[in-house]
Every structure is written in structure tokens, then in C-alpha cells.
Amino acid sequence: MKKIAIVLCVLVLATSLFAQGAKEASGYKIYLITMDQMDQHWVNVDKGAQKAATELGGITYKWLAPDVKDDAKQIESINNAVAGGANAILLAANGPNAVTAALKEAESAGVKIVYVDSAANYPAVQTLATDNTAAGATAGKELLNALKGNGVTSGKIGIISVNSATASTVAREAGFRKTFEGTGFQLLETQYCDGDAARAKDMGANFITQGVVGLFGANEGSTVGVGNAIAEAGKKVVGVGFDKSDMILSLIKSGNLLCTMAQNPDVMGYEGMKTAVRALKGEAIGAAYFDTGVSVLTKANL
């Protein structure tokens, strides 16, 4: 009987080890879900996530995103990731509240949530993003200093952003506006383009006809639109923006944008992937917020 018991224990242990080995071999399924597929910013988040997945090994990784910024489409992407067997989702939330029900269902299914770039109003393992309020304030200071350097101490300033809900761009606008408090400048009502550069250009052109002395674009599409509007108008309007793309850098080199706040989307994706894996392994995560940094790109340092 004792021998039979030993044999049974060995068989149970072997079966357990085999099952564990099979699980490790199959690895984790981790999805990146961004606001859209339009911006080069998201392409770079994807590159960072891919790099980390390759380095870590044994990860099945997929980037899902709507073709345009749309809450319903982003919810569909989250649901598809859960249905596809996701163990973790790296999410750049289009808005703070629209996706929370979908995230609750995902978490109930055992999915770990990590925010990259923009968080929703739902608990997550960690948020990896720019300090957007501080970066928005920096953009404001760059514009204010440039205007004063040109002898301009008053006038209208236009702001073009994505929408009134996305946490990252709302914070950027708040930081930007605060910089101009108590100055002689009037900040006009923000216009929203859903990140569409063509719409942002039309909005920028409309601001220019209103006689603005400065324009601020709160994301990649908005910034491209601002720069193109200034280029087309051929007037001395100072434009500042956010994000780094080939088009934005070209607009800075040509003098149609003063500068841009360059985020580190590759760091968001890379460190976000590592955070997701640590969470899945039950390892310590660290701080709830991970500042991925920002730098000011001008014609002088390109």
C-alpha cells in the first residue's frame, strides 16, 4: 500500500509539473488597445510593447485599436481582447468613463489592466504616462516667452484639442491655461477635432481669421493642423504643440511651429508590457503612477 501511495504521489506531482510547464510554454496573451491607429504616437507605443514582449519571451502580443477615436469601437476592442483570451490589456483610454463597464467585465474575467498614456476612471495595476499638466504648462511657457520675445504682451490665443473627455489632453489644456492666468492674453474657447489633422487645420484657420497671436495643439493631429494652418495663412502666429511625428518635425524645421512637447510613447509601451508581466507573475509593481517624461523639441535641437 505504501508503494502504491508513493507511485500515486509521483504521478500527481508529474501531472502538476506537466500542466505548469504547458502553461509556461503557452505564455501570456497581452493586448495593446489605443485610442486609434491614426497617430504615429500609437505606432511608437506599439513598438515599445513589441520590444519588451520579444525580450521577455513566451508572450503572445497583439495591438488592437479603432480606426478613429470612438468610445463604442474601443469598447468593442476591449471585449474582443477578453474573448480572445487576454491575460492583460495595455489601454490608452479614449475617455475616463465610457469604457469602465467593459473594464469591470475584463477584470472579472481575470484580466490585468495597465494604462498607457491615458487612464480611465477604473482601478488598474499602474498608469504609465506623461505628467500632462506639467507638460501643458511647459508648452504655455514656451509660447508666452516667444510672444514676449517678439514684443507681444497681449492678444488672443486659440486651443485645439481632441475632445472634452480624454484625461491626458484635458490635463494638458489645464496646465497650458494656468500659465496664462494674470497675463494680458485672452484664451479663447477650445475647439475639438477628435485628433483629425484636417479638421484641426480648418479650426486653426478660423482662429487665425479671429486675429490670434498664438495657437496650441494638444495632441499629434491637433498640432499638425495648427502648423498647417499657420503655414497656409502665412501670418506671424506662434504655434506650439504635443507629440513627435515626421510631419510635426517638418513643420518645426520650416518655422511654422515653434516647438512640440515630445513624449516617450516607446517607453510607455515597453515599461507597460513589463508591468503587465510582473502583475501576472504576482511580483511587486511599485508606484501606481510611472512618469514617462517629456522633452521640448525646437528648431535648435532637432
Q: Return the pLDDT at 161.
A: 98
Q: What is the DSSP letter of 234?
A: T
- Nearest Cα residue to 229 out of 261, 193, 262, 177: 193
pTM: 0.85
CATH number of the structural domain 132-262: 3.40.50.2300
What distance in Å separates the CA atoms of residue 118 and residue 172, rounded to the nearest whole number?
A: 12
Q: Which uninterrupted H or E stretch holds 213?
A: strand 212-217
- The structural domains of the chain, with segments of one domain joined by +, span 27-130+265-293, 132-262
Q: Return the number of other C-beta atoms located less than 10 Å from residue 178's C-beta.
A: 13
CATH number of the structural domain 27-130+265-293: 3.40.50.2300
How far is residue 294 from each of residues 99, 145, 265, measured CA to CA in Å? 27, 19, 10
For the stretch 42-98, pLDDT in tens is: 999 999 999 999 999 999 999 999 999 999 999 999 999 999 999 999 999 999 999
Q: Residue 265, SS3?
A: helix
Mean pLDDT of the chain: 92
For the stretch 58-70, pLDDT in tens is: 999 999 999 999 9
Helix (DSSP H) and strand (DSSP E) numbers for the chain: 10, 13
With bands split at pLDDT 50, 70 and 90, how would you rate the model's confidence at 8? very low
Which of 36-40, 101-105, 173-177 has the weakest average pLDDT?
36-40
Same fold, 27-130+265-293 and 132-262: yes
What distance in Å separates the CA atoms of residue 162 and residue 164, rounded to the nearest whole number?
A: 7
- Nearest Cα residue to 231 out of 203, 210, 194, 205: 205
Q: Return the pLDDT at 10.
A: 38
Q: Say yes or no to pLDDT of 139 above 80.
A: yes
For strands 155-161 and 88-91, give the pairing. unpaired
Q: Residue 56, SS3?
A: helix
Identify the residue whose cell numbers are 504576482. Answer: 282
Residues paired with residue 216 on neighbouring β-strands, in sequence order: 159, 240
